[in-house]
Amino acid sequence: MNPRDAQARTCGEWLVELLEDCGITTVFGIPGVHTVEFYRGLEKTSLRHVTPRHEQGAGFMADGYARACGKPAACFIISGPGMTNILTAMAQAYSDSVPMLVISSVNNSHELALGQGRLHELPYQRQIAGGVAVFSHTITRPDELPEVLARAWAVFDSARPGPVHIEIPLDVIVEDTRRLDAEVRRAEYPPGPDANAIARAAELLRSARDPFVVLGGGTQSAAAAARALVERLGAPTILTINAKGVLPAGHPQSLGSRLPHPPVLEALAKADVVLAVGTELGETDTLLFDGKLNLEGKIVRVDIEQQQLTRNTMPHVAICSDAGSAMRALHEALDGHEPADSIGRVRSLRAAADEHLDDAYRGHGRLLQTIADTLPGVVVVGDSTQPVYGANFLYEPDAPRRYFNSSTGYGTLGYALSAALGAKLASADKPVICVIGDGGLQFTIGELATAVELGLPVPILLWNNRGYGEIKRYMVEREIPAIGVDIYTPDFIAIAEGYGCRALRAEDAGALRAALREAAAAEGPTLIEIVEDSFEVS
């Protein structure tokens, strides 16, 4: 079939029609000779295409997009180097349960795994991608597309979300699909809780003298249900980093994200019943990197993934369910329960935990609060950088999906710039800020061009400590020679201006507030550099 036949509809053209029907609105991709057929019918749809400067940027943009709005975006990726470039971003999304649809080309069906030196040839590409995806599938016939897309949306809508990879061989992309007219039937209803499990959990919680609640990222789409349940229990509640905002700042039952501090750990260990919802209870959830969470009481776990219920901490009651459905069922089962009076205890625990923070982290917390006070409703997108580590403990947004970063989960560098652009595309009505270090920015600095091209008014707050400051501190504390961490620092102001960004330096909180207000009103991105040893936090 000649793909230029005016009467033909290629598999690539049908693909974009199906994506539009599934609700995809945004595609991130860099066109290549192996993916151009994905673009043939793109202008006939309402899909917005964004061209990053690197495939890793495409993946991070899709990640930030999904975290900000809860819906997946798609990525169009060439075979071979395009796929290996996006793997890191897929791994970050997989680690943090972020939905993402990655569609790639692959060599012709009759050429796969022959090692003939074809362009972009990557033996066993699907298997490589499968390590960082919920599933990876090779389309061998165009009529598979609706079924495989339905599987993808079953993951996004009804299971623990994560990246899905679909690859299409070059010969299949151009096949004629005029006679194919199937729709993608989505399974939009996640699993609900077992009534017996809810009854057992409610019995434990009703009789608890000292209950605790741990809310994870799986609860961020069910903030109202979480708040109602917490208030019915009257229990002290800990939020993981990915659950920030599920309880608003200042909520009387909230301990924020102070889990790894000794007073909170001790109180949690002594609790007679712990309810953990939508959390792995792993080291990047608990921020316990040198030990395992010790829980002496009975554990009730709620998770949408069956296997996750038994990882890290074995439960006494395991509820395999969507977090919102389970929390609403528990709330109903606890009707008439007299909530515990924990407000004074929570206040004391918060104060005791904060005494374990060093001055640098306190300063980072004040820095993030300055941003929030200046830009109400801001979405903070952070990298693996010092201010983010402090903010992980202290910063408390007023709503979910307004604070996320790459310092937990897979722990990538260079995430925040691209992810902030994706978040802004998903939440055009909200201010979005990127918080990134000088080391991390150099991983993906080319995406400044994407930000300028899109005209996105995203402030890029650059924390410049002239190297890998957090790693240096870690080495010094362990008496390891600080080798490889004091790297050359370029002139970021000049570089940003060269890309067409507004760029300035803030030396104190007042200058930062003024710069943030200007950046939010600008017609494009603004780089705001803070040099660590000359910035006064107030």
Give tens-digit pLDDT for 301-353. 999 999 999 999 999 999 999 999 999 999 999 999 999 899 999 999 999 99
| Domains in the chain with CATH codes | 11-173 (3.40.50.970), 195-353 (3.40.50.1220), 359-534 (3.40.50.970)
Confidence class of residue 144 from pLDDT cuts 50, 70 and 90?
A: very high
DSSP calls for 398-462: SSTTSEEESSSTT--SSHHHHHHHHHHHH-TTS-EEEEEEHHHHTTSTTHHHHHHHHT---EEEE
pTM (whole model) above 0.75: yes
Going by C-alpha positions, the residue among 224, 257, 214, 253 that lies closest to residue 405 is 257
The SS3 assignment for 505 reads: strand
Place of tokens 């039952």: 253
SS3 call for 247:
coil
CA 22 from centroid of its chain's CA atoms:
21
Q: How many helices (H) and strands (E) does the chain have?
A: 21, 17
Query: How confident is the model over 400-426, as a mean pLDDT?
Result: 96
**Contact (CB, 8 A) for 168 and 111:** no
What's the pLDDT tens digit per position in 367-386?
999 999 999 999 999 999 99
pLDDT at residue 5 in the model: 62
421-454 residues labelled b (16+ CB within 10 A) or e (exposed): bbbbbbbeebbbbbbbbbbbbbbbbebbbbbbbb
Q: What is the mean pLDDT of residues 498-526?
A: 95
| Both structure tokens of 435 | 């918080």
Show the DSSP H helices in 143-295 as ranges: 145-158, 170-173, 195-207, 223-233, 262-270, 283-286
Cα 366 from Cα 357, distance rounded (Å): 13
> For residue 282, what are its two tokens?
């792993």
**Residue 1: its pLDDT value, please?**
44
Average pLDDT over residues 427-456: 97
